[in-house]
Amino acid sequence: MKSEITFMHNQRSARGRKSGVNKFAKRRYPIGAELIGPNKTHFRAWAPKAKNVDLVLESGAEKNAERSFHPLTREDGGYFSGTAEAGAGALYRFRINDAENFHPDPASRFQPQGPHGPSCIVDPTQFKWTDEKWRGVKMRGQIVYEMHIGTFTPEGTWRAAAEQLAELARIGITVIEMMPIADFPGNFGWGYDGVDLFAPTRLYGTPDDLRAFVDRAHSLGLAVILDVVYNHFGPDGNYLAVYSDDYLTRENENDWGDSINFDGANSGPVREFFITNGRYWIDEFHFDGFRFDATQSIYDKSDEYIVGAIGRAARQTAGKRSLILIAENESQETKLVRPRSEGGDDLDGLLNDDFHHSAVVALTGLREAYYTDYLGSPQEFISAAKYGYLFQGQPYSWQEAPRGTPTFKASPEAFVAFIENHDQVANTAAGERLRFQTSPGRYRAMTALLLLGPWTPMLFQGQEFGASSPFIFFTDVGDGPMREAIRKGRFQFLAQFPSLAANEVQKRLPVPSDPKVFANCKLDFSKRKKNKEFYDLHVDLLRLRREDSRFHEQRLGGVDGAVLGPASFVLRYFSKGNSDDRLLVVNFGERRVLTPAPEPLLAPPLGLEWETLWSSESVSYGGPGVVTVARQDGWTLPAEATIALRLIPEKAPRRQPKRRSL
């Protein structure tokens, strides 16, 4: 079956038609299917391996589908393009070199039947946005909340998740970090094995459902950033090799296979693909930025590092709307957050694994695998508050090499601190939440440090109400052999922890492809009421951080600290003239009495004294009750507690020292 087709010249496609003709008049991106009329679509794909490319329009069920074939025109540089009479909702694929098999568009906007099925033409103008006044967010002052759409609600959809946004906004969350949504095979997964980077996965709803989620978030004052995976493609459903051998390179293999070719031969169109992807999410879905996954595995020796290039293109696309760009970087390269004028990449934030690792050691005593080089000591938390990363080039025995780069002059908000995220919860035998691995008092104390520290705090879904649901690595990708290979690979990864390496433990590890594993990870929102003490703890701390003059400031050099004992320390938040200073006294150990207390950071200015502002020991959080910490005759540090103190005028004159003869 054949139908009429007309072709657009490359120059005309690049320029677009005169503005004002209609909403479809101008092509927006260099790749993919875009409507240029009510029932006319322009297609463009990079396929340098092909001698010829046909557009295959499909209608009807897969087995009995009616198909029409339309040859595309070859352009310079290996691109093929053309227009066809097809509107929004039409299904299509590409045929390469007259082959019997047809393949989805590498830049497909939607895969309603999954990565192995046909691509779908999408009209992004059908959704009516209501966020015209939204101006985005900047890094300072944010509270990040990591969310996996498939397990955040029982339904596992954007629509269901959107219904919970008002409650997140009410308690003080300001930024949603959405785990990856690029389409992947199977019925469930984390999303890090995505293969259709422009296609929001059909598992969570339609592209317009995603738009509605972001629009609703903006109406509540919530920003939404997207976790993007630009370091590899998933092992199943990736058809890029049909079009070109230049998307991937074996020169720099990473933990997940071949790396992406950002700086080798024919890398120009590859870079264009990813830069376009960044622009697309910002423009068509109004995302407020990105969390770049595993940037240590994004290899690029170009003059302009690809992550920085994507970020700058995204900011240009956003216009006056502010974005935040955060990187995961295991190597702790602070170049990512330095200005480009100083050789950096202009990002805004870095995940701080050092803080997490110290926190886990302090809470659990676990010192194996990548926790080996951490003590969980007071000095580590003081240094994290002052400098961000703990390892900035020192020897790191776990990797038998130096770790990290200097962070001096980096603002406190650039470091995203957390005690739970998807990786770290899952890197236990059964995806156990951290609160079950320590004492209630110590967990409350650590939560207070996390939420009142000078960094940018991040919570993982359900953490705020003490969720008991686990979070385990789950994936429905691939056939039997591939699933078995993934299972073995996952178990081998966990075996780096000696406590998880024994055969009897490995036999009990949850199987990633088991649907029950996925189902067990779904949140139970009834725990908000059942675990009211945990919920109140987080709500009150978020309010204190938001409303207090010092705890929300995040000023470079605004905090100093001192060790008070083997498991206790103090952070002092300075104000101009010191009359509005704050103290955060943290004790992860047994009760301590400091008499004497020869530490200058504990001293109030003349005419002022310290008063308890907040305590993790409150009975409303399940604690034993608040005690007076600062007295004229000494200091009492309750066991496993964090106390915030503020300055008030002295209630009584200071005692005069007794005169003793020499």
Domains of the chain: 5-126 (2.60.40.10), 477-512 (no CATH), 553-649 (2.60.40.1180)
**pTM of the complete model beyond 0.85:** yes
Unique residue bearing structure tokens 């109400």: 465
Contact 52, 97 (CB under 8 A): yes
- Distances in Å between the Cα of 592 and the Cα atoms of 448, 568, 572, 635 are 19, 9, 19, 8
Q: Which helix (H) or strand (E) holds 362?
A: helix 353-364
Question: Which range among 11-15, 263-267, 557-561 shows the weakest confidence by mean pLDDT?
Answer: 11-15
Residue 303 pLDDT? 94
Residue from 110, 205, 112 nearest 152 by CA: 205
Q: Which helix (H) or strand (E) holds 529?
A: helix 527-530
**In which band, very low, low, confident or very high, does the pLDDT at 251 lie, cut at 50, 70 and 90?**
confident
**Residues 322-357 pLDDT 10s:** 999 999 999 999 999 999 999 999 999 999 999 999
Rg (CA), the chain: 27
CA quadruple 242, 248, 251, 256: dihedral positive or negative? Answer: negative
CA-CA-CA-CA dihedral for 550, 554, 560, 563, to nearest 10: 90
Peptide bond into 339 cis (omega under 30): no
Calculate ∠ Cα 414-450-541, nearest 5°: 115
Task: Kindly state the average pLDDT of the residues 123-144.
Answer: 97
Residue 22 pLDDT? 54
Phi, psi for 489 (deg, rounded to 5): -60, -40
By annotation, the residues acting in catalysis are: 293, 328
Q: What is the mean pLDDT of the chain?
A: 93
Unique residue bearing structure tokens 């594993």: 517
- Percent of the chain at pLDDT > 90 equals 84
